[in-house]
Structure 1
Amino acid sequence: MSEPVPPNLATDTPIVFVDLETTGGSAGADRITEVGVVEIGPNGLSRWSTLVDPRQSIPPFIQQLTGINDAMVRGAPAFDVIAPALFDRLNGKLFVAHNAGFDRGFLRSEFARAGFAFNPDVLCTVRLSRALFPAEKRHGLDALTARHGLVASDRHRALADADLLWQFWQRLHTLVPVETLRAQIDRTMQRYRLAGDITEDHLDAAPAGCGVYVFYGDDDVPLYVGRSVRLRQRLRSHLTGERRSSREMRIAQQIRRVEWRATGGEVGALLAEAQWIATLQPMHNRRPRSARGDPVDAPWPYDGAIVFEERDDAQRQRTFHVVDRWRYVGGAPSLTEATGLWSSSPAGTFELSTYRILQTHLARGLRVMPLAASEPSMTGAASAAA
């Protein structure tokens, strides 16, 4: 049965305060033993909880901490049984938890095993407490309970701890002006509700190292091309980061699809980014300006196409980049594939951006070799003609 909710809360979004008990701290190896949810929505407040059969034994120290033992969960539903109803209960609501990364990580893993993609917007009450009360040193749930006079009915049980978060939320509304609280919630919230068809799992497949990316909007209109030495992290920052600029937030609201390419290094990323911008003409990129004296063509100082190698040692990745007559052909993970890429590529026109980038990096000692070379050892860089 729903209970009434106090008016003038600091967010109009439906909220779920969530706590879990588990068999341990690893979302990959351990499993959930109990779920507790306090839900705040247009129909008022409701509470829900269930024990969960983890299908593995509960370690003794966890049994001592939570009071949940193997006998209690025997006969309880497994997570895949409760997954559809729990997903409906949580989906589309602001997910509030203490040390929220822990609870979100476990639920995301369990939901994934049950065939659901769980990517809620998340508010961590530890981080919110630190933002609102920076002079305080301790922000654990026991510290919040003591500091704010919360009433713990059964500590380290899922529903009781979720209810403590609801009490803390109510207490904040008596201590902090609503507009200040709204601003801190917006600043602290982590937005994992990704754009279009982009999911967390999709981003997990993005390269961790150097690369380029392009965001597309409705009707596959190119929005923005960028590059990064930490591509996956940069994509997350665009889509879920809490410190986005107003411009980045405007772009994020339009994104429906993302495409990326690993480059193995920064020079390849510069070349690929410039070529994508010139080809796609995305609406949110600044157009490169021509300067007085820029050539419309330039002599090519090599007998044919050249290749240079970049290595991402952290990712154990090699990329061979091909350039032919001031045109960037592309990159490939092997010299053989790079040769095939060049041989199947149609002749192109002079690219001013490629000319500028290579002139700069050749002057800095970029090592190149003729593409026809049979061994992938680099020869000394040749200086480009002015």
Structure 2
Amino acid sequence: MVYLDAASTEPLHPAARDALLSALDAGWADPARLYGAARRAQMLLEQARADVAEVLGARPDEVVFTSSGTQAVHLGVLGTLNGRRRVGDRLVTGAVEHSSVLHAAEEHERGGGTVDVVGVSRTGRVDAEVFARAVSAPGTALACLQTANHEVGTLQPVEEAAAACQEAGVPLLVDAAQSAGRLPLPRGWSVLTASAHKWGGPAGVGVLAVRKGTRWRSPYPQDERERRRVPGFENVPAIVAAAAALRATAEEAATENARLSALVDRVRTEVQRLVPDVEVVGDPVLRLPHIVTFSCLYVEGEALLTELDRAGFAVSSGSSCTASTLRPSHVLEAMGVLTHGNVRVSLPRGVSEGDVDRFLAALPDIVRRIRASLGVR
């Protein structure tokens, strides 16, 4: 099997595996207690917090660990809105944000709040000037903008948006799930979220960072754990492994990004040359180094994924969170591009040029056979 779905989850980094096995022995105790084993667990937890904060450009006391990136987003969005009720109830967000952001926005609307969704270009990029006008409206309590899109890889104008938010006195929540550890994080964020399994850490660890001075109030009942922001017992071994993977991924990023970006450029070029009636989507330049997405006319995405799986290739289709629901991708719809026959190829650490060549060799015949089965020549 050639695994090409790193945007969904990156395989566990060797550094994470080593750290996890070690922490299972040393960090199993309750870090809130006072006996020796508990103090060792607490030391491991706080060192992991400091390591993650350093990579993200935050202070350790601004960082807490959640059970997932989705929980981090929900806490970030709803907690900041909760903390800024006196300012207003207006939320500004981009149209191609991750579903966790959009679902939190829906919850905010159900509670009586208002949401302004800013559209995107055909490449999936928010217009910074339109976003700036949206956040300057009276009563805006929070703005949300991802660093890069999780489906098509397009980078967003976060620093320009952050400058507009700062001028308007509005905090900016940045979802960095796809870029943390891979690219330098943009400046100016007030709240930041990320997910460990996107950078080669174990699943079940998310990160929420809230800048000092940002008003935030938990939407959950109060709990003593994680600076009273995240309820429940910390998974110290998994958090230690997540920190180790983030450090290692950030250290490897410059070399690995250049290699993966060249492979993505090859896929972008060759798919259009080899497959008729195909649309490669997303910004060709302002993009993540490891994601490429294309759509094939006259082909159902689910059928294409099934045939690619039979041929030994693990890829994703449409939204990574809705690929099994047969619903069109909200990202592709917002961009105004072809939504059917969509394939997202996202290259993991260590993928070889031969793996990519095998994929490109298999794809044209698979598409041709599916089209032929539907009577399309």
Confirm or deny a common fold (TM above 0.5).
Answer: no
Question: Which TM-score bucket, shorter chain as reference?
Answer: under 0.3
Greater relative contact order (Cα < 8 A, sep 6+): 2
Between Structure 1 and Structure 2, which shows a larger proportion of strand residues?
1
- Normalising to structure 2: TM-score of the pair? 0.26
